[in-house]
Amino acid sequence: MARGGAALLLLVQPRRHRHAGRRRCDNVERVQPWSISWVVAVLLAVQVAPGRAAEDLSVEAERRGERVAVQARAQISAPVAVVWEVLTDYEHLPRFIPGIAKSVVLSRDDSRLLVEQSGEARFLVFSFPIEVRLEVTERPPQSISSRAVAGNVRHMSGRYEIQPDADRGTVLLRYVGEIEPDFELPPLIGVAALRSTATEQFTAMVAEIERRAAGAPK
């Protein structure tokens, strides 16, 4: 199975919402935008697949200065091995995560990977393209961390944590992340778009975990 980087990301259309003269992170250099057309309406509106709804699924987003912070969690009825398999199925993310058009593993060195992804946050008539290269660090089977090292963001980082609950026979999946694009986010619409994106993508990730778990050996 091809593998490559887990970060809540989105699909991109050929747009350039760039602001000349805006400051950028020293460790983030610009990469050329990809011209990828993907039609996925709102990325993360809570829509757990019917029949196998995760318990306690929630996604929150809030503005923290120039950044938007996202927190998500879900109690999932699935083996840890299946959860890890889905989270690290990087190059197949476009197949089951709404809004991801491209996710390619550029290199792998033991537990470190370089992954190129493109996407966009969309909300109503607004859209915000996001194009990044992510440095991903795997710590199986407990966590996956990522940070942007290139792209149209000043800052982007995320972390998945997997916590088995032996008493309940479930797994608690947590995600925390922050993003600061290199373009202006409207005060209300920007946060709403990123929240919508994060909700739809996290929900789709959980649904894929549960779908695979349903066919996994007991």
- Could you list the mean pLDDT of each consecutive 10-residue stretch along the chain, which spans 218 residues? 44 37 40 28 31 74 90 97 98 91 96 92 69 96 97 94 94 96 73 84 97 82
CATH number for position 174: 3.30.530.20
Residue 19 lies in a domain: no
Residue pair 185/191 in contact (Cβ under 8 Å)? The answer is yes
Query: Per the structure, how many domains does the chain have?
Result: 1
Q: How many CB atoms lie within 10 A of CB 184?
A: 12
Residue 93 φ/ψ, nearest 5 degrees: -55, -40
> How far is Cα 55 from Cα 127, in angstroms, rounded to an integer?
30
Q: How distant, in Å, are the alpha carbons of 42, 56, 75, 142, 207 from that of 169?
A: 32, 15, 10, 16, 17
The domain containing residue 60 runs over which residues? Answer: 56-215
Give all strands (DSSP E) within 170-215, no chain letters. Answer: 170-181
Residue pair 104/89 in contact (Cβ under 8 Å)? The answer is no
Residue 114 lies in a domain: yes
> How far is Cα 142 from Cα 146, in angstroms, rounded to an integer?
14
Q: Is 60 left (phi over 0), alpha (psi -120 to 50) or beta?
A: beta
User: What pLDDT is recorded for position 195?
Assistant: 84
The residue whose two tokens read 């000043």 is: 154
Residue 148 lies in a domain: yes
Q: How many CB atoms lie within 10 A of CB 123?
A: 23
Residue 28 lies in a domain: no
- Of 119, 115, 145, 150, nearest to 2 (Cα)? 115
User: What pLDDT is recorded for position 193?
Assistant: 76
User: What pLDDT is recorded for position 27?
Assistant: 41
Residue 41 lies in a domain: no
According to DSSP, the residues that pair with 121 across neighbouring strands are: 128
Residue 97 lies in a domain: yes
User: What pLDDT is recorded for position 119?
Assistant: 81
Half-sphere exposure of 51 (CA within 13 A, CB side): 5
Residue 163 lies in a domain: yes
User: What pLDDT is recorded for position 164?
Assistant: 97
Helix (H, G, I), strand (E, B) or coil at 25: coil
User: What pLDDT is recorded for position 128?
Assistant: 72
Residue 162 lies in a domain: yes
